[in-house]
C-alpha cells in the first residue's frame, strides 16, 4: 500500500498532462479556432459558429479519442509481449496480427480487380477496410493460437509469428505486382496509418473491444509479474502457464487487431513506450506499469498526432512517419545501452 503512494504524484502529473494535451490536440488544426471557443463548444455554447462546432465535435474530438485508445492499447500490447517473451525488443506486432490485417486489406484493395466487379464495389463501402483487416487479424490469431498449443517453448511462438509476417508480406508483394498504380497508392495510404477517419459509431465499437482487452489485462496482473522471473518460477507459484500464455496472446491480438483494423498499422509506440515508462516509474510491477503505459502511450500519440497535423497548415503528415521518428531513436538507444532494463 505504501509503495503505491510513491507513484501518486507521477500518475497525477501524467493524468493532468493527458487532459491538457487532449485540449491542445483538439484546439489545433488546419482551421484556426480560438481556445476559448473550443472550451465553450464543450460546454454546449450554441452561439459559436456551426462550422466550428462540426469541426470540433465530429472531427477533432473523435480523432483525439482515437489517439488515446490507439496509444494506450498499443503500449499495453507491447508491455504484454515484452513480459511474455522476456525480450525488450518484442512489440505488439511480433505475432503477425498486424501482418494478417495488412493482408486482409491488401486482398480487398489490391485484389479487387482480380476478383471482379462485385468484390470491387464492396471494397469501397464504409466498413470494408475494417472488416477486411479484422478478418485477416482473426485468421492469423487463430493460426497462432493453434501453434501455441503445439509448442512448449514461448520463443517458438515468437518465431512462428515472425514467419506469418514474412508469408503475408510475400503475398502482399505478389498482389502489388499485379495491381494498378491507383490501387497500390490506396493501399500505401492505408499503411501510413490514420487517426482521423472514424465516426462516433465506429469509435463506439472500437471502445467496447478496447475495454474488454483492458479489463482482461488487469485480471492477469499476478501471472504477468510471475512471468518476469521465468516459467519455472511461475509454475512454482501455481500459475497455469499454458492458460495464461493463451490469455496474453488473446488480449494482445484483440487490442492489436482492432487498432490495426480501425487505424492501420501504427509503428514503434508499442515497442518504445513500455521502456520509457519503466525508466520513469523504475518498477517491474504490472499493477503500476499497466495503467502507467496506458496513460503515457496516449500522451505520446497525442503529441505525435499534434505534430503530424501541422497546426495552421492544410497538410497532414502520415502518423506513422512521426511515430517512427520518435520510436526509432529509442530502439537504437535500447540496443546500445548497456545498463540492464527493468524487464
For residues 231 and 205, which has the higher predicted lDDT (pLDDT)? 205
Tell whether 164 is covered by a domain: yes
pLDDT for the residue 2:
42
CB neighbours of 259 closer than 8 A, spacing ≥ 6?
69, 70, 73, 74, 77, 266
**CA dist., res. 205 & res. 258, Å (int):** 9
pLDDT at 302 over 90: yes
Tell whether 203 is covered by a domain: yes
Global pTM value = 0.88
Tell whether 342 is covered by a domain: no
Q: Which of 53, 30, 29 is CA-nearest to residue 42?
A: 53
Residue 52, all three cell numbers? 466550428
Tell whether 341 is covered by a domain: no
- Residues 157, 147: contact at Cβ < 8 Å? yes
pLDDT for the residue 71:
95
pLDDT for the residue 343:
47
pLDDT at 332 over 70: yes
State the pLDDT confidence band at 125, using cuts at 50, 70 and 90.
low
For residue 142, the enclosing domain spans 2-336
Tell whether 151 is covered by a domain: yes
The domain spanning residue 236 has which CATH number?
1.10.3470.10
Count of structural domains, the chain: 1
Amino acid at each position: 500500500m505504501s509503495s503505491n503512494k510513491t507513484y501518486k504524484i507521477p500518475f497525477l502529473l501524467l493524468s493532468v498532462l493527458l487532459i491538457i494535451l487532449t485540449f491542445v490536440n483538439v484546439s489545433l488544426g488546419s482551421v484556426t479556432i480560438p481556445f476559448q471557443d473550443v472550451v465553450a463548444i464543450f460546454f454546449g455554447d450554441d452561439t459559436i459558429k456551426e462550422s466550428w462546432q462540426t469541426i470540433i465535435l465530429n472531427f477533432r474530438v473523435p480523432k483525439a479519442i482515437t489517439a488515446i485508445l490507439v496509444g494506450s492499447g498499443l503500449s499495453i500490447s507491447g508491455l504484454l509481449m515484452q513480459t511474455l517473451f522476456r525480450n525488450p525488443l518484442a512489440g505488439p506486432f511480433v505475432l503477425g496480427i498486424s501482418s494478417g490485417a495488412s493482408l486482409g486489406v491488401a486482398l480487398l484493395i489490391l485484389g479487387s480487380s482480380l476478383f471482379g466487379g462485385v468484390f470491387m464495389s464492396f471494397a469501397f463501402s464504409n466498413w470494408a477496410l475494417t472488416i477486411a483487416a479484422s478478418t485477416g487479424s482473426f485468421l492469423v490469431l487463430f493460426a497462432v493460437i493453434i501453434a501455441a498449443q503445439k509448442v512448449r517453448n514461448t520463443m517458438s511462438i515468437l518465431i512462428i509469428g515472425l514467419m506469418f509476417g514474412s508469408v503475408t508480406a510475400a503475398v502482399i508483394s505478389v498482389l502489388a505486382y499485379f495491381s494498378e498504380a491507383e490501387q497500390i497508392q490506396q493501399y500505401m495510404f492505408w499503411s501510413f496509418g490514420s487517426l482521423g477517419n472514424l465516426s462516433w459509431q465506429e469509435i463506439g465499437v472500437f471502445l467496447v473491444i478496447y475495454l474488454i482487452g483492458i479489463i482482461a489485462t488487469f485480471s492477469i496482473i499476478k501471472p504477468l509479474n510471475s512471468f518476469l522471473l521465468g516459467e519455472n518460477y511461475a509454475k512454482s507459484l501455481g500459475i497455469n502457464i499454458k492458460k495464461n500464455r493463451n490469455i496474453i496472446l488473446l488480449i494482445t491480438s484483440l487490442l492489436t487487431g482492432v487498432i490495426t483494423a480501425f487505424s492501420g498499422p501504427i509503428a514503434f509506440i508499442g515497442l518504445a513506450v513500455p521502456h520509457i515508462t519503466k525508466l520513469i516509474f523504475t518498477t517491474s510491477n504490472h499493477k503500476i506499469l499497466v495503467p502507467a503505459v496506458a496513460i503515457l502511450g496516449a500522451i505520446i500519440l497525442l503529441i505525435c498526432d499534434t505534430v503530424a497535423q501541422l497546426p495552421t497548415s492544410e497538410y497532414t503528415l502520415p502518423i506513422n512517419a512521426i511515430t517512427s521518428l520518435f520510436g526509432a531513436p529509442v530502439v537504437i538507444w535500447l540496443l546500445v545501452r548497456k545498463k540492464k532494463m527493468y524487464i
